[in-house]
């Protein structure tokens, strides 16, 4: 990773070069040709022009790389009025850690990747620009130059779209690569005709409009905000005053000028020709309004709804220099999608017409559906939202349907994963597997098969732990997981560091042999079931909450409370699993999930260290980590994906000044943080009880409490876990669930009892027939777990111990108190010995007896150095003691 370009600490002075080259009167934006940077104590000034590659102040002392597209001033006159429009590049270390493996090789220290993730904010404060930098495009297979000599140049080979690395479109890079291209240099292009109102043509031409729009919206990962901003501030060198002409730009259709005509282009061109010059003025204004609206919910809007408006300038608009520089690179399109988009494509083929450099074509791209929408619904924003198939506030049915769909997906997946790919097993596992069939299949790879089969319930967990697993999934990995790759239980997230590993077992795990063993395996708490019954509503609420935040790219907090064993953590994990799945299917922007647990840290401040390490892989002290995180969450980083942070056992993060909790809840409120915090604790009133006001206020009121399970729910949980394995009598199940529901409603306890009951059943059925767990077995298990051991313990005590207990009670009665000194009790003890006809014991013996009773906590004692005067109390009720002694 390159750390060469650390941030300049010197103060820099920024000034525009020359006057505004173009003024957007509507937005009061003034576009400039260049920016002059003067560093203190340095006489030479650097000039930056659109097309240059630049370094931008970043977080963690690493600068960002980007290509400058436009420079403009928003006219507010404030210090941060200078803005720049950029195309981002990412360095390797900015790629989320769990996805770095996908590069498949070691990155060159000076390597950068074209950033193709949509909907990232490409508008930056121009005063964060540090300097220019060289970026060279290399062929994918060509070696990196021996670059040590040239520290200041970066290389780009691949592009990164948030999921995978792919070769950069050569055309684009040829346009954009190499030396900075000045806007007005060679690529002058123009539209053959003035832009037409696409809507008209399309409204007629495309009968399949609704489906198309739906599909486009489906892949709603548009660079909406970016393109919108682009449209807001058209930088141009155009001298002519803008006329009232609109320009709609489809941000993702990037065609380098001069490239060959594709079918798409031709089609698009045809469409263009159909456009009427005099477009609907009303629409223009409306669209302009839309475009200039603040980016309230950019990610939600489909890409194709992005409209860039700009004044019409005599048919030529200076847009294509951006395009020529390959800066507006939308998400890579799938081939079929390309075809679908043809209608909206705009041809750039004739862009090299004899136009003056300053006069550029005004590209208009209008999505047909949008126009329809605009025409139909008077208000622009409303219908757009309405059509979005996945509106944020989905109804419960919709998302539960999707959950169902995912389950189906997993089911489908199972058959392929099962034998083909061991690596895949980690991520997608069959949810249900007929045990019989699996056991009858080939015995060749017993362990492997079992791994896949038995791993079924683990699915959510494994996908959740994808980051830790990825390193193990190298292609050269042996099919069977080797023991050394098994992470140590409590350091699952640091696989890259050498961790001590647990040796492999010498024998393969035994398969559950009979129904009871199978049931026991299923009832183990660790085996996560296919679904979480009885928590549908909570699931839905959390799901909606996180999903909306992820989609909006905003932050938020949620507090989840509930007594232990009510499925809080499991539900959140399930939600994350579903969201991850959705993200994989492009229904959601990708996000990263971090989990910390107050119980798994030695001190509250370790939270910072853990979060930082999981976010960036860096190791730092708590203080340093806090500073780095603070910086990270407060500096704008448009490329950052949303972080979902699960804070389990929140109450343990309490400190006297509460600064850990304060920060955890303060970060999500920052605009740039994109942090969603889900805090889990046991008590409902935790915010009121232990948090000071400013912390509680930041936590907000998004709360959820998990009620203890009722007996019906517990019953349902067991039944769903058993999943057709018939091991329990119905009555027995009901008894367990009623008993547990009456006590605590703790599902873990319920499962434990059931497991114990199966053991008892198994043990007894070795002697006598029936294999089902019956009432008697459950009763026995309940007795074992809930009966107090005191009475048995008293009965098994020695005679002297029993007499001592009697003496204690006698002395209590005499004193009328619940406390006596050893001396007093011992006198009673001697008297009782005489009554019982036993030889009296000496003081030393009496004291040992007393201490022995104290050790097993039948008595509560002071520390024994008080000798005669140590005070004695009973830890059991007097009645219990008397009862136990009477029987014995």
Partner 1 sequence: MLRERFCHQKIPGKPFGVESQHKIFNICSTHIRMEDDSNANVLVPSHDKAIPGDRSSSRPVVFILDEFDLFAHHKNQTLLYNLFDVSQSAQTPVAVIGLTCRLDVLELLEKRVKSRFSHRQIHLLSSFRFKQYLEIFKMQLSLPEDFTDRRFAEEWNQNIKSLCEDRSVEDVLQKHFCSSKDFRSLHMLLMLALSRVTVSHPAIKPTDLLEASRLCTMDSKANILHGLSVLELCLIIAMKHLSDIYDGEPFNFQMVHNEFQKFIQRKSHSVHNFEKPVVIKAFEHLHQLELIKPMEGPSVRTQKEYQLVKLLLDNSQIMDALQKYPQCPTDVKQWATSAFG
Q: Give residues 526-545 in contact with partner 1 (rule: CB under 8 A).
A: 526-528
Instruction: Report 666-685 residues binding partner 1 (CB under 8 A).
Output: 682
Taking CB under 8 A as the criterion, the residue among 756, 777, 806, 829 binding partner 1 is: 756
Give the shortest CB-722-to-partner 1 separation in angstroms: 14
**Non-local CB neighbours of 671 within 8 Å, separated by 6+ positions:** 636
Give the shortest CB-512-to-partner 1 separation in angstroms: 5
C-alpha dist (Å) from residue 778 to 241, 691, 744, 877, 878: 87, 43, 17, 28, 30
Taking CB under 8 A as the criterion, the residue among 503, 769, 816, 837 binding partner 1 is: 503
Contact 667, 555 (CB under 8 A): yes
Distance CA 36, CA 111 (A): 27
Taking CB under 8 A as the criterion, the residue among 789, 816, 837, 886 binding partner 1 is: 789
Residue closer to partner 1 (CB basis): 339 or 855 = 855
Taking CB under 8 A as the criterion, the residue among 792, 814, 818, 834 binding partner 1 is: 792
DSSP state at residue 724: T
SS3 label, residue 621: coil
Give the shortest CB-696-to-partner 1 separation in angstroms: 22
Residue closer to partner 1 (CB basis): 615 or 781 = 781
Give the shortest CB-878-to-partner 1 separation in angstroms: 17
Instruction: Report 149-208 residues binding partner 1 (CB under 8 A).
Output: none
Does the CA dihedral 452-458-464-467 come out positive or negative?
negative
Give the shortest CB-843-to-partner 1 separation in angstroms: 5
Q: How many residues bind partner 1 (CB under 8 A)?
A: 92
Give the shortest CB-684-to-partner 1 separation in angstroms: 14
**Non-local CB neighbours of 106 within 8 Å, separated by 6+ positions:** none
Q: Is 749 in the site for partner 1 (CB under 8 A)?
A: yes
What x-and-dash track marks residues 543-582 binding partner 1 by CB under 8 A?
Answer: --------------------xxx-----------------
Give the shortest CB-564-to-partner 1 separation in angstroms: 3
Give the shortest CB-810-to-partner 1 separation in angstroms: 17
Residue closer to partner 1 (CB basis): 563 or 882 = 563
Taking CB under 8 A as the criterion, the residue among 746, 762, 812, 881 binding partner 1 is: 746
Instruction: Report 449-478 residues binding partner 1 (CB under 8 A).
Output: 450-451, 453-458, 461-462
Closest CA to 715 of 741, 740, 733: 733
Taking CB under 8 A as the criterion, the residue among 409, 662, 790, 883 binding partner 1 is: 790
Residue closer to partner 1 (CB basis): 537 or 792 = 792
Taking CB under 8 A as the criterion, the residue among 11, 393, 497, 505 binding partner 1 is: 505
Contact 100, 92 (CB under 8 A): yes
Taking CB under 8 A as the criterion, the residue among 89, 801, 811, 812 binding partner 1 is: 801
Measured in Å, how far apart are the chain's first and last C-alpha atoms?
Answer: 76
Contact 550, 591 (CB under 8 A): yes
Give the shortest CB-475-to-partner 1 separation in angstroms: 19
Taking CB under 8 A as the criterion, the residue among 277, 692, 701, 796 binding partner 1 is: 796
Taking CB under 8 A as the criterion, the residue among 93, 193, 392, 748 binding partner 1 is: 748
Give the binding range for partner 1 (CB under 8 A) out of 191-199, 249-257, 379-387, 786-794.
786-794
Backbone angles phi, psi at 157, to 5 degrees: -120, -40
Q: Which residue has the tokens 């489809």?
A: 250
Taking CB under 8 A as the criterion, the residue among 211, 241, 356, 447 binding partner 1 is: 447
Give the shortest CB-559-to-partner 1 separation in angstroms: 16
Taking CB under 8 A as the criterion, the residue among 241, 784, 814, 818 binding partner 1 is: 784
Residue closer to partner 1 (CB basis): 216 or 463 = 463
Backbone angles phi, psi at 22, to 5 degrees: -160, 140
Burial label for 223, CB within 10 Å (0-12, 13-18, 19+), is buried
Closest CA to 8 of 127, 95, 97: 127
HSE-CB of 110 using CA atoms within 13 angstroms? 21
Angle at 579 between CA 290 and CA 542, to 5 degrees: 90
Instruction: Report 616-675 residues binding partner 1 (CB under 8 A).
Output: 649, 652
Closest CA to 115 of 61, 63, 158: 158
Write out the DSSP string of 306-359: ------B-TT--TTHHHHHTT----PPPPHHHHHHHGGG----GGGGSS--TT-
Q: Is 443 in the site for partner 1 (CB under 8 A)?
A: no
Q: Is 806 in the site for partner 1 (CB under 8 A)?
A: no
Give the shortest CB-870-to-partner 1 separation in angstroms: 11
What x-and-dash track marks residues 479-498 binding partner 1 by CB under 8 A?
Answer: -xxxx--x-xxx-x------
Go through the chain and tell me how many residues it has: 888
Distance CA 331, CA 118 (A): 6
Instruction: Report 368-387 residues binding partner 1 (CB under 8 A).
Output: none
| Helix (H), strand (E), coil (C) string for 435-488 | HHHHHHCCCCCHHHHHHHHHCHHHHHHHHHCHHHHHHHHCCCCCCCCCHHHCCC
Give the binding range for partner 1 (CB under 8 A) out of 90-98, 193-201, 340-348, 599-607.
599-607
SS3 label, residue 30: strand
Q: Which residue has the tokens 């009303």?
A: 282
Q: Is 800 in the site for partner 1 (CB under 8 A)?
A: yes
Residue closer to partner 1 (CB basis): 200 or 827 = 827
Q: Is 818 in the site for partner 1 (CB under 8 A)?
A: no
Contact 174, 137 (CB under 8 A): yes
Distance CA 118, CA 113 (A): 14
Contact 559, 703 (CB under 8 A): yes
What x-and-dash track marks residues 852-881 binding partner 1 by CB under 8 A?
Answer: x--xxxx-------xxxx-----x------
Residue closer to partner 1 (CB basis): 126 or 653 = 653
Give the shortest CB-751-to-partner 1 separation in angstroms: 9
Residue closer to partner 1 (CB basis): 400 or 499 = 499
Distance CA 354, CA 349 (A): 13
Give the shortest CB-445-to-partner 1 separation in angstroms: 12
Taking CB under 8 A as the criterion, the residue among 382, 508, 657, 688 binding partner 1 is: 508
Q: Is 823 in the site for partner 1 (CB under 8 A)?
A: yes
Taking CB under 8 A as the criterion, the residue among 265, 304, 752, 762 binding partner 1 is: 752
Residue closer to partner 1 (CB basis): 170 or 785 = 785
C-alpha dist (Å) from residue 717 to 54, 57, 805: 57, 52, 45
| Helix (H), strand (E), coil (C) string for 361-374 | CCCCCCCHHHHHHH
Instruction: Report 49-108 residues binding partner 1 (CB under 8 A).
Output: none
Write out the DSSP string of 43-92: --EEEE-TT-EEEE--STT--EEEEEEEEEE-S--SGGGEEEEEEEEEEG
Closest CA to 370 of 542, 237, 249: 249
Instruction: Report 706-745 residues binding partner 1 (CB under 8 A).
Output: 744
Contact 611, 630 (CB under 8 A): no
């Amino acid at each position: 990773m390159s750390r060469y370009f650390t941030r300049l600490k010197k103060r820099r002075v920024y000034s525009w070069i020359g006057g505004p080259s173009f003024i957007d009167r509507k937005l009061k934006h003034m576009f400039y040709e260049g920016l002059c940077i003067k560093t203190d104590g340095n006489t030479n000034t650097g000039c930056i022009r659109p097309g240059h590659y630049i370094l931008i102040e970043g977080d963690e002392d690493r600068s960002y790389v980007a290509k400058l597209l436009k420079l403009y001033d928003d006219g507010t006159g404030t210090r941060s009025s200078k803005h720049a429009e950029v195309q981002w590049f990412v360095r390797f270390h900015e790629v989320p850690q769990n996805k770095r493996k996908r590069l498949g090789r070691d990155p060159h220290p000076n390597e950068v990747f074209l950033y193709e993730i949509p909907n990232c904010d490409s508008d930056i404060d121009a005063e964060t620009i540090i300097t220019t930098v060289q970026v060279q495009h290399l062929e994918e297979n060509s070696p990196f130059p021996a670059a040590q000599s040239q520290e200041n140049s970066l290389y780009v080979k691949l592009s990164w779209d948030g999921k995978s690395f792919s070769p950069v479109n050569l055309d684009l890079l040829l346009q954009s690569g190499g030396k900075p291209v000045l806007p007005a240099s060679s690529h002058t292009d123009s539209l053959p005709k003035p832009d037409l109102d696409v809507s008209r043509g399309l409204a007629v031409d495309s009968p399949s409009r609704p489906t198309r729009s739906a599909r486009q919206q489906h892949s709603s990962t548009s660079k909406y905000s970016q393109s919108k901003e682009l449209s807001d501030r058209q930088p141009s060198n155009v001298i002519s005053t803008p006329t009232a002409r609109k320009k709609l730009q489809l941000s993702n259709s990037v065609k380098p000028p001069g490239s060959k005509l594709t079918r798409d282009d031709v089609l698009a061109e045809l469409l263009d020709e159909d456009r009427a010059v005099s477009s609907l003025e009303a629409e223009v204004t409306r669209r302009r309004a839309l475009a200039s609206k603040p980016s309230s919910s950019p990610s939600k809007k489909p890409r194709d709804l992005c409209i860039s408006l700009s004044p019409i300038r005599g048919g030529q608009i200076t847009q294509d220099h951006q395009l020529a520089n390959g800066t507006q690179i939308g998400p890579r399109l799938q081939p079929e999608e390309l075809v679908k988009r043809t209608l909206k494509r705009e041809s750039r083929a004739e862009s090299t017409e004899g136009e003056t450099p300053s006069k550029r074509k005004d590209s208009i791209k209008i999505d047909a559906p949008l126009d329809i929408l605009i025409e139909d619904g008077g208000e622009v924003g409303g219908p757009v939202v309405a059509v979005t198939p996945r509106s944020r506030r989905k109804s419960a049915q919709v998302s539960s349907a999707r959950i169902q769909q995912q389950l189906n997906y997993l089911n489908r997946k199972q058959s392929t994963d099962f034998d083909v790919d061991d690596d895949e097993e980690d991520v997608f596992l069959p949810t249900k597997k007929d045990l019989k069939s699996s056991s009858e299949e080939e015995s060749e790879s017993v362990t492997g098969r079992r791994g896949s089969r038995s791993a079924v319930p683990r699915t959510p967990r494994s996908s959740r732990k994808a980051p830790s697993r990825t390193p193990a999934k190298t292609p050269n990995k042996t099919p069977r997981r080797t023991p050394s790759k098994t992470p140590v239980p409590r350091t699952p997230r640091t696989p890259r560091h050498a961790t001590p590993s647990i040796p492999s077992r010498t024998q393969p795990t035994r398969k559950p042999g009979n129904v009871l063993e199978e049931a026991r395996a299923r009832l183990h708490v660790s085996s996560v079931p296919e679904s979480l019954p009885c928590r549908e509503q909570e699931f839905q609420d959390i799901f909606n909450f996180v999903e909306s935040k992820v989609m909006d790219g905003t932050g938020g907090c949620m507090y989840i409370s509930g007594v232990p064993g009510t499925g809080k953590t499991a539900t959140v994990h399930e939600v994350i699993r579903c969201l991850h799945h959705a993200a994989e299917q492009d229904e959601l922007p990708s996000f990263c999930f971090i989990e910390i647990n107050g119980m798994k840290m030695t001190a509250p401040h370790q939270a910072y260290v853990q979060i930082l390490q999981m976010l960036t892989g860096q190791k730092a002290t708590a203080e340093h980590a806090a500073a780095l995180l603070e910086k990270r969450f407060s500096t704008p980083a448009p490329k950052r994906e949303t972080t979902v942070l699960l804070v389990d056992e929140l109450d343990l993060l309490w400190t006297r000044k509460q600064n850990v909790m304060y920060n955890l809840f303060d970060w999500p409120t920052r605009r740039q943080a994109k942090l969603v915090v889900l805090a889990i604790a046991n008590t409902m009133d935790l915010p009121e009880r232990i948090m000071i006001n400013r912390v509680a206020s930041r936590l907000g009121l998004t709360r959820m409490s998990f009620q203890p399970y009722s007996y019906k729910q517990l019953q349902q949980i067991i039944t769903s876990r058993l999943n057709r394995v018939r091991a329990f009598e119905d009555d027995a199940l009901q008894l367990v669930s009623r008993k547990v529901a009456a006590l605590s409603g703790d599902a873990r306890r319920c499962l434990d009892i059931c497991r114990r009951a199966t053991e008892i059943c198994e043990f007894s059925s070795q002697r006598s027939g029936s294999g089902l767990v019956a009432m008697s077995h459950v009763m026995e298990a309940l007795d074992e777990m809930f009966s107090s051991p005191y009475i048995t313990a008293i009965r098994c005590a020695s005679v002297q111990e029993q007499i001592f207990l009697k003496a204690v009670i006698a002395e209590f009665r005499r004193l009328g108190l619940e406390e006596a000194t050893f001396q007093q009790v011992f006198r009673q003890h001697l008297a009782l010995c005489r009554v019982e006809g036993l030889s009296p014991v000496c003081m030393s013996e009496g004291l040992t007896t007393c201490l022995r009773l104290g050790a097993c906590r039948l008595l509560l004692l002071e520390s024994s150095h008080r000798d005669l005067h140590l005070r004695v109390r009973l830890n059991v009720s007097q009645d219990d003691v008397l009862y136990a002694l009477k029987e014995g």
